[in-house]
């Protein structure tokens, strides 16, 4: 089935619209962009140049994806934005292309749900099956894993990471890395408040995995051990549990530090 384009919309002849695409009223699709099969742009959506939208996405009114980054060093290079499949972007979401010095690419995986006003800045790499509540915001160069919940009006500082299955409470300001599997909240005195038990059970994690993560959190943050002592003891006592191994690797790889318990 060929693409359907409302007569009020403007589509560059250099853009590619795959089968089943629906372009609603008053949209703008710029050149060197691709809209994947069955993707729907409801109305007033702007797709900038050098943007690749996968299949079965749905973009609501006033979303803007693929425009140049908000970076004063950016001089118009043909950097890119790549969006995967089956994502839902509600009203007024914004996703920007990468920068030359940041790798030249911003990515969003599959099956993400971005609520109204969410923002993903340049050179961010966001995984799959994440939920961004209203006005959740990522600064540049942020990495987000899979199955994360980013609370409403939360902000993640540039170069920070959010580990898979993390839960960030509303209005949280993350200036360091957010631990995987854990609940993290706070406007300024941001802390990890233990395992995201409800979320992990909903995702089918075993009781053994959840208990291992709970023990790891206690050893790392409530045992009085120094950082390296806590990591070594947790590895010795709980190493081999895949979720704990990922947590320990996440902490060791951190460049900005982590929000501790």
62 carries an active-site annotation: no
Choosing from 36, 52, 123, 151, the catalytic residue is: 123
Distance CA 253, CA 91 (A): 35
245 carries an active-site annotation: no
The answer to whether the CB of 122 falls within 8 A of the CB of 102 is yes
Choosing from 66, 140, 151, 194, the catalytic residue is: 140
- Which of these, 120, 117, 116, lies nearest to 141 by C-alpha position? 120
Q: What six digits make up the tokens of 33?
A: 């962009």
Distance CA 103, CA 53 (A): 19
Q: Maximum distance among all alpha carbons in the chain?
A: 66
Please state whether beta strands 191-195 and 34-35 pair in parallel, antiparallel, or not at all (unpaired): unpaired
Q: Sort residue 86 into left (φ over 0), alpha (ψ -120 to 50) or beta.
A: left
The answer to whether the CB of 167 falls within 8 A of the CB of 150 is no
End-to-end CA distance of the chain: 53
66 carries an active-site annotation: no
Choosing from 122, 141, 217, 259, the catalytic residue is: 122
Catalytic residue numbers, as ranges: 122-123, 140
């Amino acid at each position: 089935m060929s693409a359907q384009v409302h007569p009020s919309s403007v589509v560059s002849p250099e853009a590619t619209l795959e089968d089943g695409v629906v372009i609603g009223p008053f949209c703008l699709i710029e050149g060197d962009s691709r809209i994947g099969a069955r993707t729907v742009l409801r109305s007033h959506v702007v797709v900038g140049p050098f943007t690749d939208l996968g299949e079965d996405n749905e973009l609501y009114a006033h979303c803007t994806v693929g425009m140049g980054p908000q970076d004063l060093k950016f001089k118009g290079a043909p950097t890119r934005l790549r969006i995967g499949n089956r994502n839902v972007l509600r009203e007024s979401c914004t996703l920007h292309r990468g920068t030359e010095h940041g790798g030249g690419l911003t990515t969003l995986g599959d099956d993400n749900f971005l609520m109204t006003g969410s923002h993903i800045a340049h050179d961010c790499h966001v995984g799959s099956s994440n939920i961004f509540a209203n006005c959740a915001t990522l600064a540049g160069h942020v990495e987000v894993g899979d199955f994360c919940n980013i609370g409403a009006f939360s902000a993640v500082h540039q170069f920070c990471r959010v580990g898979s299955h993390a839960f960030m409470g509303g209005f949280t300001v993350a200036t360091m890395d957010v631990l995987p599997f854990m609940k993290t909240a706070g406007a300024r005195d941001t802390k990890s408040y233990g395992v995201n038990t409800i979320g992990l059970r909903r995702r089918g994690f075993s009781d053994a995995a959840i208990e291992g993560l709970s023990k790891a959190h206690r050893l790392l943050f409530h045992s009085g051990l120094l950082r390296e002592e806590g990591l070594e003891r947790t590895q010795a006592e709980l190493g081999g549990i895949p979720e704990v191994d990922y947590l320990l690797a996440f902490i060791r790889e951190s460049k900005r530090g982590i929000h501790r318990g």
